[in-house]
Amino acid sequence: MSAGLAGAVGLSATACGADGGTAGGEVTLTLVATEYGTPDTGGGAERYWLALIQRFRQQHPNIQVDVTVLGREEVATEVSRMVREGRAPDIAQLGSYADFAAAGELYPVRELLSIPVQADFVAAFAAAGEVRRTQYGIPFTASTWRLFYNKGLFRDAGLDPEAPPETWEELAEAAAALKAAGVPVPYALPLGPEEAHGEALMWMLSGGGGLTDSSGSYVIDSAPNIAAFTWLRDVLVGGGLTGPREPAVTGRREAFTAFAAGEVGMLNGQPALLRLADRGKIDCGTATLPGKDGPSQHTMGVADWIMGFDNGRRRAAGRFLDFVFQRHNVKLFADRYETLPVTLPARESMLEAIRHQRLTPFLQQLERASFYPVGKVSWAEVSLALRQEIGAAVLPDGDPEAALRSLQERAERAEKAAREG
């Protein structure tokens, strides 16, 4: 047990139902959660959970909640180990849920949350939690992505800082002007193994493509996707507009750090980059992702998930999760860690708050966000292949069509294996 678990033991709340929480009895829930805290957020996620559990205890004194908070790199590994050893947590909050759902280890959301709470979620995020049309993943945090640009570098390059590019052509023109003004990285294109699948999806979406079609089948080698990566190879990379390092070895964190240091003119980013830009004293703007012929109609949405394991304590877990998603609690977490709320009431509260004005464009995009196909068991293998291989498509001698076709074939094999397994 971590210090977080030891600190939370005994924080409890009213039992509900016949799964260990009958009237007069007690039930103890175990929760494993992901760390979100940074030096700028006034404490780690444990602080949030302990305060929330204490408030829950006041209303439900017969349900105890023991919480362990783990780093993002270790939480999935630890939960998987717990499941293999037959001691799955009652509730886990982490980055994926599909493997557990496919193995029959999770409660469907409809068996956990009350109907009013289910109705509060942003529809696009709730739908992303489905496996074969049944929702198992409950969205916990969200982010949408926009084009970030350095207004100071735009001014130095003779560009209008209030008129960011809206098309691929305008983006290339702005990048060329930044390059001529001596900006080290006019446009950062992180297609290295760290998070290439995210950058790839944004370019697919802005070109009218995507990873899957409306039926959920992989379409990685679609004509719009091939056209997007051919343009990247020939125009951005071929024009020397992505800096001295090859995109195939450039990571997302590296790109964000360079932006905060004033070395990058433009890149795709999420709300967390705002805090980094503040720290670097960067006067930055954000804009809708540029599209092939106009502003993109889609943006990438990313969510972390919370889920209930089928341990026989469904009603107690559901009562706690209903409390987690009360508007005040959702907004409090989003406020502290500058993520986006996943429920409509919390979103409306943040839209009305002056202090969150710079998040308004991100919040307004929530309902038109597109997601990784996280409900597919095959996605873990496909996303790894994308991270490892997609960068080669934009090398000077790269072949986007061949690279995307190879990834499509791998995706189809992985999907077939997942279905047969």
57 membership: H or E segment, kind and range: helix 45-59
* Mean pLDDT across 127-144: 93
Mean pLDDT within 335-339: 83
Q: pLDDT at position 338, please?
A: 77
pTM: predicted TM-score of the whole model, two decimal places: 0.86
What is the pLDDT, as a whole number, of residue 165? 98
DSSP code of residue 359? G
Task: Measure the CA dihedral 55/72/365/198, to 10°.
Answer: -170
Sequence-ordered strand ranges (E) for 261-405: 264-269, 284-287, 299-308, 369-370
Residue 372 to residue 305: CA distance in whole angstroms? 13
Helix (H, G, I), strand (E, B) or coil at 22: coil
For residue 93, report the phi and psi dihedrals to the nearest 5 degrees. -125, 110
Dihedral sign for Cα 167, 384, 240, 403, please: negative
- In the chain, count H helices and then E strands: 18, 12
CA distance 386 to 365: 25
Coil vs helix vs strand at 44: coil
What percent of the chain has pLDDT above 90? 79
> How confident is the model at residue 367, as a pLDDT?
85
pLDDT tens-digit series, residues 33-71: 999 876 454 558 899 999 999 999 999 999 999 999 999
Q: Can you give the pLDDT at residue 322?
A: 98
15 has pLDDT over 50 = no
Integer CA distances (angstroms), 183 to 171, 242, 360, 392, in order: 15, 10, 29, 25
At 38 the pLDDT is: 61
Would you state the structure tokens that stand for residue 130, as one six-digit string? 């489905």
Domains of the chain: 3-143+302-369 (3.40.190.10), 146-300+374-420 (3.40.190.10)
What is the spatial distance between Cα 169 and Cα 290, in angstroms, rounded to a whole number?
9
